[in-house]
Amino acid sequence: MLKALSGGNFSRDFTASIVVFLVAMPLCMGIAIASGVPPEKGLITGIIGGLVVGLLAGSPLQVSGPAAGLAVIVFEIVREQGLSALGPILILAGAIQIVAGLLRVGGWFRAISPAVVHGMLAGIGVLIVVGQFHVLFDDKPLSSGLHNLIAMPGQIFGLSNGDAATAFAVGLVTIFSMLGWEKFRPASLKLVPGALVGVVTATIVAFALGLPVARVVVPESIVAAVALPEAGLMAQLMNPTIITTAIAIAFIASAETLLSAAAVDRMHDGVRTNYNRELSAQGVGNLLCGFAGALPMTGVIVRSSANVQAGAKTRLSAILHGVWILGFVALLPWLLREIPMAALAGILVITGVRLVSVAHVKHLFHLYGPLPAIVWAATLICVVATDLLTGVLVGIGLSLLELLPHATRLRLKVDEESRGEAHEVALRGTATFLNLPKLSAKLESLPAAGVVILNVERLGHIDHTCAEMLREWVDRRRVAGGPVELFGATGRMRQLVA
């Protein structure tokens, strides 16, 4: 913290924190609504993510808060088990994350196939779009993604209903304002987020014209939004349904957080992520969210990338963004009540569309062939057609097929030898996601200075999960000015890290 207040860091962190706050406010409320809970629940999670997790995080520039990736599973929890079940589930999920961090298993979450993770996010994106499409008409989402999808034409044909048409127009104003700003904004205002512009524009239009649309409902005091666990908490924590759901929340939140942290590391050349510390910090945050009756949190790439791009240098930026959310909610709740629900739905529709990254599956197909693309598609389809956990498990199961041809020779030996200022790392055997934590730890432990010689002459096979990690490590080291030389690479291996 002293480092954050020294030198020229404070002014840059202060400015970045305001940018992150402006990005986070509409997303916190929108994700809460997509989760089927009041918007203030998302704001409480954003405050805890800033003030608590920002202070403890192992990834100093990552910003934590409610995530679109968990909106679908929270919606299902609230619909099937009731809002009161969310607190015990998050308390247990947070405890699982804390223990996982203390047991140093953070690196294992990085071993999940990128095809599974991006397939999961794409499936979530589809569910968010088809669910929030109905909120654009001031209607409520239906019980499943397929039902929402089937009912979409009916909403279009029902536009003769004046109030629904008005709400839809407000949503379109939000979407076009957001996209238009992102495309045409002047360079001097590049840090002003499109989501904020979209919400402000729609709110002004709805207020000025006195439009009869549904608006956000928030309590007079943020303290009133805190819902402590009900009596019988211990009995709930022993409920098998609660335990199963908590494990699913902990797994998905941890995977999304640590993959986001890895992406943030690629955006800057500062302090690298301590994955185990980050995992425990997220656990503390989710534990507190459980006791406050708020939404689950993860590290989120949208807010984190805005933080890095705005010039943040230390964790102070993430902490301050939590201060600004708390101050705004405490002092200006009346302003939040003017925001149309359709405006937040418009932002989430764009967020959902962007989660469906076709470019990523093209990248996987181009470099690694059809199997990762099949894993991605199967995960997406199962998430939409069944549920989030089933989709992830199907994806992981399919990714195991990559091991079958090498089932009898899955060992990887990693040897390091120093030659003056140069370091040679020799890989022998088969590199798969089973070896990824070991290989990643070895590569990250290499000195920042000096040439690294990566000897892959005796590497028999590398799967796409390990190859993606290796490619990203080579790119990151080269960007930081550390030369990496390949020895013995042929064919696809040379193409991957050339």
In order of 148, 176, 349, the CA distances from 129 in angstroms are 9, 16, 5
Tens-of-pLDDT digits for all 498 residues of the chain? 555 555 568 888 998 899 889 888 888 998 998 898 999 999 999 999 999 999 999 999 999 999 877 888 899 899 888 888 999 999 999 999 999 999 988 878 778 888 888 888 888 889 888 888 998 998 888 777 788 888 888 888 877 677 889 999 999 999 999 999 999 989 888 878 888 899 999 999 999 999 999 998 888 788 888 888 887 888 889 999 999 999 989 988 998 888 788 778 767 777 878 889 999 999 999 999 999 999 999 998 778 888 888 888 899 999 999 999 999 988 888 888 899 999 989 988 988 888 888 888 898 888 888 999 999 999 999 988 887 778 888 998 998 888 888 877 888 999 888 877 788 899 999 998 888 888 888 888 888 788 898 888 888 888 888 888 888 888 878 877 788 888 877 766 666 655
Span(s) in the chain for CATH 3.30.750.24: 412-497
Distance CA 209, CA 190 (A): 29
Q: Which two tokens stand for residue 263?
A: 């992406």
Distance CA 68, CA 82 (A): 20
Which one-letter amino acid corresponds to residue 113? Answer: S
Sequence-distant (6+) residues with CB within 8 A of 212 are 163, 166
pTM here is 0.80
Nearest to 426 by CA among 494, 485, 498, 495: 485
Q: Which two tokens stand for residue 431?
A: 């590199």
Pick the CATH number of 412-497 from 1.10.287.1770, 3.40.50.2300, 3.30.750.24, 1.10.10.10: 3.30.750.24
Nearest to 110 by CA among 472, 403, 486: 472
